[in-house]
Amino acid sequence: MMIYKSPQMHDIVGRCSRIAQRDKDVSFLLLGETGVGKNVLARHIHEQTPSRCNYPFVEPALSREDNLLDSELFGYVKGAFTGAMASGHDGAFTLAKGGTVFMDEIGNLSYQGQFKLLKTIDEGWFSPVGSCQHIDIDTRIIAATNKPEADLQAGTFFRNDLYWRINGETVVVPPLRERIEDIVPLAEHFLNRWNFSYQTSYVLDNGDKSLLMQYSYPGNVRELQGIVLHTARLSEEMVFNTEVLEETLSQRQVLIVPKAVFERSPVAQIDSLVLEKVCRQAEQACIKKVLIITKSNQTEAAKILGISRATLRTKIRKYELERPPDK
């Protein structure tokens, strides 16, 4: 299920749906950081293809070892090699007949593995290991990688001919920090699944939502899910524990700059790591100044800064702002 509210994802999902409905065979190459939801988008494409949605969606475990890759993609017949299952084994292209093969992190394949895959796609058929039988391919191929598109095109670790073969439609899935509108709907989705599984009734209040939207999620949607479930596990008495959520986020806090502000700023061209450093320095200076004004009264300082005392204490330790004891 695709959960989104941002205009970026609205455009991406709409485009993928239209293409999937019009062409059952065109391949997709999904690009984006780890954890952005490329696998969820791949399944959505499969489900939006009328002639394929009732057939399997198969995600093989791609291996850099060529013999394991052959078995995973093409399968093998009885007695193909020592240790083979007596009944043989169907590979992904057989299991997904009529449906979709999703090749996640295709950029990790060995060069020889890439060649075998390219040859198979070009010829339109494959043979299980240990067999001379030719089996026609009848699947849509969706590939995904967290490697930058420029690296794929460069041909240094990925074959140019395979890249151009699998990128019938290239889709770049933006990181969660660039589609802030999706954070709360996704968080509520994960929390609702938890409620269903454990018969709880946790909800996110406005404070929880505000906290979640202030974090940059280097681990993207997968990290958001982990944060929500971690907080749910530590919550008691049927109330979602905002203090646990606040403490969890404060321990890994990276300031988010609203996109509209960022695009108008002179720092828009600065590397993201440099920007993060600048933000940390600004936060440290701000907290230090407020502590001086309040004479280190943490309750008053937290109120001025608009954060809890627990968060303030965490940041004081983080930036080493404790006052030395009087001599």
- Cα dihedral 4, 8, 9, 15, rounded to 10, equals 150
What mean pLDDT is predicted for residues 300-326? 77
CA–CA separation, 231 and 36 (whole Å): 21
265-318: CATH number: 1.10.10.60
The ranges of the chain annotated as CATH 1.10.8.60 are: 177-250
Rounded CA-CA distance 94/84 in Å is 17
pLDDT of residue 230: 94
Which residues belong to CATH 3.40.50.300 in the chain? 7-174
Average pLDDT on 204-221 reads: 91
pLDDT tens-digit profile of 68-96?
Answer: 888 899 988 876 666 566 667 899 999 99
Record: fold of 177-250: Helicase, Ruva Protein; domain 3 (1.10.8)
Phi, psi of 318 (to 5 degrees): -60, -45
Give 158-167 pLDDT, tens digit per residue. 888 899 999 9
Mean per-residue pLDDT for 275-286?
Answer: 71
Fold (topology level) of 7-174: Rossmann fold (3.40.50)
Of 167, 227, 232, 179, the closest CA to residue 201 belongs to 232
Average pLDDT over residues 291-311: 83
C-alpha dihedral sign at 310, 312, 316, 321? negative
DSSP 238: T
